[in-house]
Structure 1
């Protein structure tokens, strides 16, 4: 395979890569159901407000393994690049979301990875 074809294959592969931003929340015991619902709705609204978000999904824990350590909510945000993630994190709409979340959050766990 020529170097040019290899470079084209690599470029095509890179464009198909997806940067996953996984955010998992443990809410304070004092957080009411309506507080948590407000957080869920605010997070779900971000893809319409921040164009660099390629995909978004979320759910609540239903694992029978009992290893959740009190974390209940998982959110998966997909970006095309690290530059897109860098735009997202300080974005004013993301910061508004954080201000809604913060009073109710006990702890967060975040991990980012390139999907294989």
Structure 2
């Protein structure tokens, strides 16, 4: 496989949507109420940022033990890269980062065009 081929941006299908997947690993010892505050804040972005088509989330329950400590998954849908790009610097998204930052150990983000 050509190493550059994994970096190619596919041309989206006419009816395709852009998925934005975010995984969080929280610092050891973070109180549940702080994590719940982060979840509520993230979920509220759907009603504040019109470019978000849908948002769902959940807590890992895989029996495979391959999560590397990531516990919370958020799955956002956008209609276009422009909509996603408007979401990223949005003031409400930035404010969410202020709440998340102190308790975040690590984050993993993957964006893809749905096939």
TM bracket (short chain): 0.7 to 0.9
Matches of 1:77 and 1:97, distance apart in 2: 15
Higher helix share: 1
Alignment deviations for residues 41-84 of structure 1 (CA, whole Å, 9 cap, x no partner): 00000010000000100000000001001000000010000000
Query: What TM-score comes out, normalization by structure 1 length?
Result: 0.87
**Equivalent in the alignment of 2:64:** 65
**Equivalent in the alignment of 2:27:** 28
**Equivalent in the alignment of 1:76:** 75
RMSD (CA atoms): 0.7
**Does the Cα contact within 8 Å between 1:30 and 1:104 map onto a contact in 2?**
no
Matches of 1:20 and 1:109, distance apart in 2: 14
Runs of 4+ in 1 over 2 A off after TM superposition: none
**Equivalent in the alignment of 1:99:** 98
Q: How many residues of Structure 1 are paired with residues of Structure 2 in the alignment?
A: 103
Matches of 1:69 and 1:33, distance apart in 2: 19
2:17 matched to 1:18? yes
- What residue ranges of structure 2 are gaps of 5+ in the alignment? 1-12
Query: What TM-score comes out, normalization by structure 2 length?
Result: 0.88
**Does the Cα contact within 8 Å between 1:19 and 1:79 map onto a contact in 2?**
yes
Matches of 2:96 and 2:17, distance apart in 1: 23
